[in-house]
Amino acid sequence: MDNNKKRYEILDSLPSYGPMYISISESGIPFYSEGFVVRFIKDDDTEWVANFEAGWGLDRVFDYPEKNLIVVIASGNGYVMNPNLEKPIKFINSMVKEAFQAESGDLIFIDDTGIEIFNPENLDVWTSERISWDGFKELRFENEIITGKSFDPTNSIKEWSEFSFNVKNKEIIGGSFRDSLKRNSHLEMKNRNEVKTKKNSDKQYDFENNITHETIDDNEIEQKDPTNWKAWYWGLMIFLGVQIALYFYITNLYTV
């Protein structure tokens, strides 16, 4: 195969003439709005136009001629294509915000919560644990290590916390999600997208100050707090009523 041969072209819009474009989506269901448009050139030099259903994020194309694969990121949606086939081989992710290519040729996709690595050799996708609550910034890829800042909307003081990811050994250091769990040791990961309260945990350890705090998780405290707040509230209102009645009495007593 001629590795220098042009195998695709990104188009600004759907072509107004020529053969009908082919819709490419994760579900396979045809759609009719304009997405990310790419013209593919098959091995026999015939062409076809793919209209990729767009997601939310990056537009980019990576070519692997030696594997006869083209990876298309259509506004965040990742499709693994063979230019000779008019349907995707694999769908990768729908929220790709940044992509890097490792020395090995692996593709590293970053969405709002973590990292995925696509191996073009065996088409496997490795998914990291959750690194960020919601978004990354200042991402850099140097010496096979990704660094940047991850967002934590629950941390009022430090909304962006640093993290690094080693592509070779897949080691993660820092990240807002881990920081958040460290701060709230009564919480644990339920799955990649959710956290849950640990059972039998009513304390949290403050690593920085070397002291144990009671958690201030509202649900737990509400459950454990034996105070009859309704009685307090009614008591307070009755006390107010008694005071007003007393003031009425005094006023009537001395009304001139």
Partner 1 sequence: MSLIDWCVLLFTLFAIVAYGSWRTRKNKNLESYLKGNNSENWATIGLSIMATQASAITFLSTPGQAYESGMGFVQFYFGLPLAMILISVFFLPIYYKLKVYTAYQYLEQRFDVRVRAFTAFLFLVSRGLAAGITIYAPAIILSTLLDWNLQLTCLLIGGLVIIYTVSGGSRAVSLTQKWQMTIIMGGMFAAFFYVLDSFPETIGLSEGVNIAGKLGKMEIIDTTFDLKEKYTIWSGLIAGLFLFLSYFGTDQSQVQRYLGGKTLKASRMGLMFNGLLKIPMQFFILFIGAMVFVSFQFNKPPIIFNTSATNVETQKQENLVSIENEYNTVFEKKKEALLAPETNTKNIQFLQAQQDYLRTSYKAEMSKIDKNYEEKDSDYIFLTFVLNFLPHGLIGLLLAVIFSAAMSSTAGELNALASTTTIDFYKKFFKDSEDEKKDLMVSKLLTVGWGILAIIIALTAGLFENLIQLVNILGSLFYGTILGVFLLAFFFKRIGGTAAFIAGIIGQIVVLLFHFLTVYEVIELGYLLYNIIGSGTVIIAGVILQLFINQNPKEGIIT
Q: Which residues bind partner 1 (CB under 8 A)?
A: 153-154, 156-160, 162, 208-209, 213-214, 216-218, 221-222, 225, 227, 229, 232-233, 236-237, 239-240, 243-244, 247-248, 250-251, 253-256
Q: Taking the complex as a whole, how short is the minimal distance between the CB of residue 219 and partner 1, in angstroms?
A: 8
Q: Taking the complex as a whole, how short is the minimal distance between the CB of residue 231 and partner 1, in angstroms?
A: 11
Q: Which residue, 126 or 233, is less far from partner 1 as judged by CB?
A: 233
Separation of first and last alpha carbons in the chain:
110
CB 55 within 8 A of CB 95: yes
Q: Taking the complex as a whole, how short is the minimal distance between the CB of residue 103 and partner 1, in angstroms?
A: 30
Q: Taking the complex as a whole, how short is the minimal distance between the CB of residue 46 and partner 1, in angstroms?
A: 45
Tokens of 192: 């990649």
The bridge status of strand 60-64 relative to strand 145-151 is: unpaired
Q: Which residue, 199 or 224, is less far from partner 1 as judged by CB?
A: 224
Count of all residues that appear for the chain in the document: 256
Cα separations in angstroms, 116 against 34, 104, 112, 124: 27, 15, 11, 10
Q: Which residue, 119 or 164, is less far from partner 1 as judged by CB?
A: 164
List of residues 6+ apart from 138 with CB closer than 8 A: 148, 149
Q: Which residue, 35 or 175, is less far from partner 1 as judged by CB?
A: 175
